[in-house]
């Protein structure tokens, strides 16, 4: 099925990342980093369909060489915690051919990135499938963050805008230094630009779908922005998808199955609630007219009419059973008028909203805990490798150790950064997180079946709706015709 996925992240030294390593991974190449003095070799990585560097007109042509480009970026960015590049990860569509997907990707990169003055390093991936799972074609783009001047030299990421007092003098801080705001020199990192990129990719894909006559579309907006009261699924990733395709059930797979089943039920309930509220408004308007029958009268009238036209005692018995069930439901819930029925429907709707909110809250926390547990386990498992690195005093031995354990160290640095950002100094408590996750998982599983009584309640109200509608139609056909002058006046 058509899907939308577009994320933009930063490649930065503070997270233990390297522009050269990132570019080598995406392109499936072996590149040497002048900054770190080591090779990053991903030539054995499968699934790289093609890669290409696309330059704006004013960029030096030597930047077509991937090693030259990203080594230059590493040299230009001096700070030990510098932000090096933007990294795009965008899903391609299984409904389109690979040639069509590649064409869309290149058009997007040129239109949205290169035309803004960015150098773009594009790589198309289609991971090899060893099973019958769903293909996952996608593309990566690495772009520069520091703009190029018209002459091809590197510009500034930010400019200073000093804070001035009423007299036009610079305001100083406690240390006597001028206070200023850092103003980006480009709009590349603004939320508005990201939204523009997301919307443009969505529009381009949908236009291609329409051109091919495909009845599928994608939407770059979140469920909330689309006005859909649905729970978003968790990102599974290729490893989980491969395990699920082989029949191995995973926590993420189970969670997504619950979420999808719940969303289907939520949509069904919301549709019924909306329909019933609309019907109540219409019938109340009819009943407000003079000499209109009550709700109970209409229900009795409907089943009397059905029995009058019944051909067998079996049908009459069935009608009697349905009538009895409808009356018992109305009596049990004290629904003797349309106002009471509307009150009942409002209560069901409120209960549904409460359940929906609880499901969303638990789902969001479970996603957060999954990431914390994953990063916490990586941190705990790889901390000895990091400690061993810190115990090496000789530079060459240290560099050799770093090269040999590059992948583990990068995972450790990523885990450390994410845990630091999310925990804000609090300790890593893996057992507590797992207990909380298991508790939420159990509570989530208990909440899901509670939708079924709501749906059952709605179906009974829909049955009452059907009977009342038919009875009103019968009475309208039995009404004597109005006099001619009444019709003319009306």
Please provide the average confidence, as pLDDT, over all residues in the chain: 81
Position 140 pLDDT exceeds 90: yes
201, two tokens: 């990719």
Query: What is the Cα–Cα distance from 148 to 141, expressed in whole angstroms?
Result: 18
What average pLDDT does this structure show over 68-83?
93
What average pLDDT does this structure show over 483-490?
34
Q: Which residues contact 474 (CB under 8 A, 6 or more apart)?
A: 301, 302, 305
Query: What is the Cα–Cα distance from 100 to 93, expressed in whole angstroms?
Result: 9
| Angstrom distances, CA of residue 352 to CA of 260, 362, 457 | 17, 15, 11
Highest mean pLDDT: which of 170-174, 229-233, 448-452? 170-174
Position 20 pLDDT exceeds 70: yes
- What tens digit of pLDDT does each residue of 39-59 get? 999 998 888 999 999 999 999
Position 279 pLDDT exceeds 90: no
pLDDT value of position 240: 67
Position 387 pLDDT exceeds 60: yes
pLDDT value of position 221: 63
pLDDT value of position 323: 75
**Within 13 Å and on the Cβ side, how many CA atoms surround 173?**
7
Position 106 pLDDT exceeds 90: yes
What average pLDDT does this structure show over 260-283?
70
Secondary structure of residue 417 in the 3-state scheme: helix
Residues in the chain: 490
**DSSP class of residue 429?**
-
Which range (279-293, 333-347, 435-449) has the least confidence? 279-293
pLDDT value of position 206: 92
When pLDDT is cut at 50, 70 and 90, the band that residue 488 belongs to is very low
pTM of the model: 0.53
pLDDT value of position 128: 65
Position 24 pLDDT exceeds 90: yes
Position 86 pLDDT exceeds 70: yes
What average pLDDT does this structure show over 344-360?
81
Position 184 pLDDT exceeds 90: no
210 or 297, which is more confident: 210
**Within 13 Å and on the Cβ side, how many CA atoms surround 477?**
6
pLDDT value of position 175: 83
When pLDDT is cut at 50, 70 and 90, the band that residue 482 belongs to is very low
Position 77 pLDDT exceeds 80: yes
pLDDT value of position 470: 76
Q: Alpha carbon 327 to chain centroid distance?
A: 45
159 or 29, which is more confident: 29
When pLDDT is cut at 50, 70 and 90, the band that residue 3 belongs to is confident
**DSSP class of residue 173?**
-
What average pLDDT does this structure show over 293-297?
63
Position 483 pLDDT exceeds 60: no
| Angstrom distances, CA of residue 391 to CA of 36, 310, 384, 414 | 19, 92, 10, 21
Position 38 pLDDT exceeds 80: yes
**DSSP class of residue 185?**
S
């Amino acid at each position: 099925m058509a899907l939308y996925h577009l994320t933009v992240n930063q490649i930065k030294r503070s997270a233990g990342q390297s522009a050269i390593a990132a570019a080598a991974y995406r392109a499936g190449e072996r590149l040497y980093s002048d900054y770190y003095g080591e090779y990053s070799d991903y030539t054995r990585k499968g699934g790289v369909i093609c890669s290409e560097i696309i330059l704006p007109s004013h960029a030096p042509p030597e930047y077509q060489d991937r090693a030259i480009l990203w080594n230059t970026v590493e040299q230009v960015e001096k700070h030990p915690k510098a932000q090096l590049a933007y990294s795009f990860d965008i899903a391609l569509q299984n409904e389109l051919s690979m040639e069509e997907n590649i064409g869309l990707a290149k058009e997007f990169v040129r239109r949205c990135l290169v035309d803004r003055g960015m150098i773009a390093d594009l790589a198309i991936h289609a991971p090899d499938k060893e099973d019958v799972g769903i293909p996952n074609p996608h593309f990566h783009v690495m772009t520069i963050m520091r703009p190029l001047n018209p002459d091809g030299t590197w510009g500034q990421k930010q400019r200073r805008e000093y804070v001035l007092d009423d007299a036009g003098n610079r305001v100083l801080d406690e240390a006597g230094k001028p206070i200023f705001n850092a103003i980006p020199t480009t709009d590349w990192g603004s939320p508005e630009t990201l939204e523009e990129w997301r919307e443009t990719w969505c529009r381009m894909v949908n236009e291609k779908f329409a051109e091919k006559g495909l009845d599928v579309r994608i939407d770059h907006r979140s469920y909330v922005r689309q006005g859909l009261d649905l729970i978003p699924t968790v990102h599974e990733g290729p490893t989980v998808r491969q395990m699920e395709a082989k029949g191995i059930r995973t926590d993420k797979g189970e969670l997504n199955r619950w979420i999808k089943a719940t969303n289907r039920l939520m949509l069904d309930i919301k549709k019924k609630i909306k329909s019933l509220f609309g019907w109540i408004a219409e019938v109340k308007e009819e009943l407000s007219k003079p000499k209109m029958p009550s709700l109970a009268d209409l229900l009795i009238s409907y089943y009397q009419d059905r029995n009058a036209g019944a051909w067998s005692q079996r049908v009459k018995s069935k009608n009697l059973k349905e009538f009895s069930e409808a009356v018992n439901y109305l009596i049990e819930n004290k629904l003797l008028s349309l106002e009471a029925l509307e009150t009942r429907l409002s209560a069901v709707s409120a209960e549904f909203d409460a359940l929906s909110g609880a499901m969303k809250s638990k789902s969001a926390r479970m996603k957060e805990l999954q990431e914390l547990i994953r990063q916490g386990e990586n941190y705990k498992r790889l901390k000895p490798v990091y400690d061993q690195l810190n115990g090496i005093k000789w530079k060459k031995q240290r560099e050799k150790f770093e090269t040999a354990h590059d992948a583990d160290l990068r995972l450790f640095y990523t885990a450390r950064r994410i845990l630091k950002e999310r925990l804000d100094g609090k300790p890593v408590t893996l057992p507590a997180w797992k207990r909380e996750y298991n508790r939420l998982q159990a509570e989530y599983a208990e909440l899901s079946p509670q939708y079924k009584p709501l749906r059952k309640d709605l179906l009974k109200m829909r049955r009452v709706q059907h009977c009342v509608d038919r009875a009103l139609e019968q009475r309208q056909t039995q009404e004597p015709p109005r006099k001619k002058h009444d019709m003319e006046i009306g």
